[in-house]
A and B are shown apart, each in its own frame.
Chain A
């Protein structure tokens, strides 16, 4: 185990030691490296091409969109598309809604998942294994299976066309987060826990003073993961929301499509409004996003 790269410390994933080893070790000639760079550059360009084309179209006037051959740099540059896309539908409101839902869900599920993860990892109680397996089993139930009864339940308790169906269930924490945190807490030495307990801490105090301060890497991973899931969710908002002022960003984008089916410059402006902030946040914090996937992916 000691020789495996420790994925729980993603900084080591690209450490010099790792770079010098493995299947490629000292085998790459200068030509090989150059060739690889060329392939990666072309692939990379193709990967971001959709975003570039989106930006380019979003700044074109309705007429110049259909000019052949197409120009990458719009002439004239029509910034007004953004203004129109922003004001035509309540896009600002959609941002506020998505942000509110995402933040509550993330805060809630971090609390409930760490608490439950700690409980499964460190506390002794009857039924521990049965409950854990049962919880893991819920991970295998796809969301579509629960959709119809959830809809019926929410319409009886008046949750349809509110944000509650998008907030409450995920904020109570999912099996995935509990599993991730449990796996992490299992690696924390029992001595720490024992010392706290001998000092008279009850389980709640131990959780708060020992476990929470030590949960750094997986918690930030889980936070990003949870927030992204909530932010990008589409089926939930599509089914549970009706009024436009309550729409989330993806749902608002979908309704844009219905309204401007062929005005591509406005549609691309709307898509840019939805995507650019996300991409900026991602690029400035890409390490944490990728750590999140590495951790959550590998441990599952």
Chain B
């Protein structure tokens, strides 16, 4: 040890650095890394809160994979993700393009479109439950004005998930819009100038300059949006509790129910770990197939 220290003197700031990092590292270890690893161990035990845990191997995973509700929740989560991602990306990109145009009052519009982002998902989910009310909700009342008989929205097995998706697009579009907007502003002007000299039209500029130059932004939004959509919980808890007939039962709701309604800690931990693996896999696959992302 002494010879090691003699051979490589520690940089003079070493102890300061460790001192400065200690709160963050302590937090990351005690409240993130250690619990994440503990989840793996707990997932191999039968643990009803209050009693001692007993090791049961992969039983929890076996049980979970044989549980129809797990597959239902997985399908629903996938449905939610596949539904919300393209919709949210399209809406927020369109809004960003519009707000990047040379028009007045852009700050006003931006303020409006971003407004839902700052609100608590629980409070606005409550508001949307009322908007979606089949008989007296404003959505069906407005639809009735133009002669459309609206569906039962949250009470319909078919429409419940689309309803949650629409509400979530509304809640999240402003966030991605602002990120897209910053991405658009970051595209070097001379590229467009060059294209204009070459006589390019709006569409080919959009197709060959805007989209490729925006692709790092798009990729970033895609990654964080998909991670977020696998964790959807608040709006579902408030609007449907997973119903009707499990039509909106998603993975995080199942984890919550298993752990805090039925107190099957082991099985909840197993499912949490499965969710983690799915999120990691989906993220890695996106990085693997990210050749469409154009870095300068």
| Chain A residues with a Cβ under 8 A of chain B | 3-5, 7, 13-14, 18-28, 33, 36-37, 39-40, 43-44, 47-51, 53-54, 57, 65-66, 68-70, 112-113, 115-116, 118-120, 123-126, 128, 131, 134-135, 138, 140-153, 155, 168-169, 172-175, 178, 202-204, 207, 228, 231-232, 234-235, 238-239, 249-251, 253-254, 256-257, 264, 267-268, 270-271, 274-275, 278-279, 282-283, 286, 289-290, 293-294, 297-298, 300
Q: Let me know if B31 and A172 touch, CB within 8 A.
A: yes
Stretch in B64-72, B80-88, B119-127, B151-159 with 4+ CB within 8 Å of A: B119-127
A123 to B19, CA, bound (A): 12
A268 to B136, CA, bound (A): 14
Contacting residues, chain A, for B113 (C-beta < 8 A): 43-44, 47
Q: Let me know if B120 and A275 touch, CB within 8 A.
A: yes
**With A50-B128, A118-B20, A144-B252 as contacts: A286 and B120 at CB distance below 8 Å:** no
Cβ-defined partner of A124 (8 Å) among B13, B105, B124: B13
Interface residues in B253-291 (C-beta closer than 8 Å to A) = 255-256, 259-260, 265, 268-269, 272-273, 275-276, 279-280, 283
Q: Let me know if B141 and A234 touch, CB within 8 A.
A: no
Known: A33-B101, A50-B127, A173-B23. 20 other contacts (CB 8 A): A22-B100, A23-B209, A47-B116, A48-B112, A70-B138, A112-B23, A116-B21, A125-B10, A126-B11, A135-B28, A144-B231, A152-B38, A172-B28, A178-B24, A253-B123, A254-B237, A257-B129, A274-B120, A283-B115, A289-B117
**With A22-B192, A115-B20, A203-B20 as contacts: A68 and B101 at CB distance below 8 Å:** no
Q: Is the C-beta of B194 less than 8 angstroms from some C-beta in chain A? A: no
Q: Let me know if A145 and B126 touch, CB within 8 A.
A: no
A sample of 13 inter-chain contacts (CB < 8 A) reads: A18-B185, A22-B189, A39-B98, A49-B138, A51-B127, A135-B25, A141-B33, A144-B252, A147-B272, A168-B27, A274-B123, A290-B178, A297-B178
Q: Let me know if B116 and A36 touch, CB within 8 A.
A: no
A251 to B238, CA, bound (A): 10
Q: Let me know if B185 and A151 touch, CB within 8 A.
A: no
Contacting residues, chain A, for B24 (C-beta < 8 A): 112-113, 115-116, 135, 172-173, 178
A4 to B205, CA, bound (A): 18
Q: Is the C-beta of B79 less than 8 angstroms from some C-beta in chain A? A: no
**With A146-B36, A294-B178 as contacts: A24 and B101 at CB distance below 8 Å:** yes
Q: Let me know if B186 and A5 touch, CB within 8 A.
A: yes
A45 to B127, CA, bound (A): 16
Q: Is the C-beta of B187 less than 8 angstroms from some C-beta in chain A? A: yes
Contacting residues, chain B, for A251 (C-beta < 8 A): 122
**With A149-B269, A294-B182 as contacts: A278 and B118 at CB distance below 8 Å:** yes
A274 to B10, CA, bound (A): 53
Q: Let me know if A23 and B141 touch, CB within 8 A.
A: no
Cβ-defined partner of A271 (8 Å) among B126, B138, B279: B126
Minimum CB distance partner of B53 in chain A: A152
Q: Let me know if B233 and A234 touch, CB within 8 A.
A: yes
Q: Interface size bucket, B side?
A: 35 or more
A202 to chain B, nearest CB (A): 7
Q: Is the C-beta of B196 less than 8 angstroms from some C-beta in chain A? A: yes
Cβ-defined partner of A7 (8 Å) among B31, B110, B186, B234: B186
Q: Let me know if B202 and A23 touch, CB within 8 A.
A: yes
A54 to B34, CA, bound (A): 43
Q: Let me know if A297 and B237 touch, CB within 8 A.
A: no
Contacting residues, chain B, for A250 (C-beta < 8 A): 120-123, 234
A78 to B202, CA, bound (A): 53
**With A4-B188, A13-B185, A234-B120 as contacts: A283 and B32 at CB distance below 8 Å:** no
Q: Let me know if B103 and A143 touch, CB within 8 A.
A: no
Contacting residues, chain B, for A124 (C-beta < 8 A): 11, 13-14, 17
Q: Let me know if B16 and A204 touch, CB within 8 A.
A: yes
A271 to chain B, nearest CB (A): 5
A144 to chain B, nearest CB (A): 5
Contacting residues, chain A, for B122 (C-beta < 8 A): 232, 234, 250-251, 253-254
Contacting residues, chain B, for A141 (C-beta < 8 A): 32-33, 36, 276
Contacting residues, chain B, for A50 (C-beta < 8 A): 116, 124, 127-128, 131, 170
Minimum CB distance partner of B277 in chain A: A145
B171 to chain A, nearest CB (A): 10
Minimum CB distance partner of B224 in chain A: A300
Q: Let me know if B275 and A40 touch, CB within 8 A.
A: no
Minimum CB distance partner of A3 in chain B: B188
A20 to B102, CA, bound (A): 7
Interface residues in B176-224 (C-beta closer than 8 Å to A) = 178-179, 181-190, 192, 196, 202, 205-206, 209-210, 217, 220, 224
A3 to B193, CA, bound (A): 13
Contacting residues, chain B, for A207 (C-beta < 8 A): 20
Q: Is the C-beta of B63 less than 8 angstroms from some C-beta in chain A? A: no
Minimum CB distance partner of B33 in chain A: A138
Q: Let me know if A3 and B189 touch, CB within 8 A.
A: yes
Q: Let me know if A155 and B112 touch, CB within 8 A.
A: no
Contacting residues, chain B, for A28 (C-beta < 8 A): 101-103
**With A53-B131, A172-B24 as contacts: A125 and B14 at CB distance below 8 Å:** yes
Minimum CB distance partner of A19 in chain B: B102
Q: Let me know if A125 and B13 touch, CB within 8 A.
A: yes
Interface centre among B115, B124, B279 (most CB of A within 10 A): B115
Q: Let me know if B127 and A271 touch, CB within 8 A.
A: yes
Interface centre among A40, A249, A282 (most CB of B within 10 A): A40
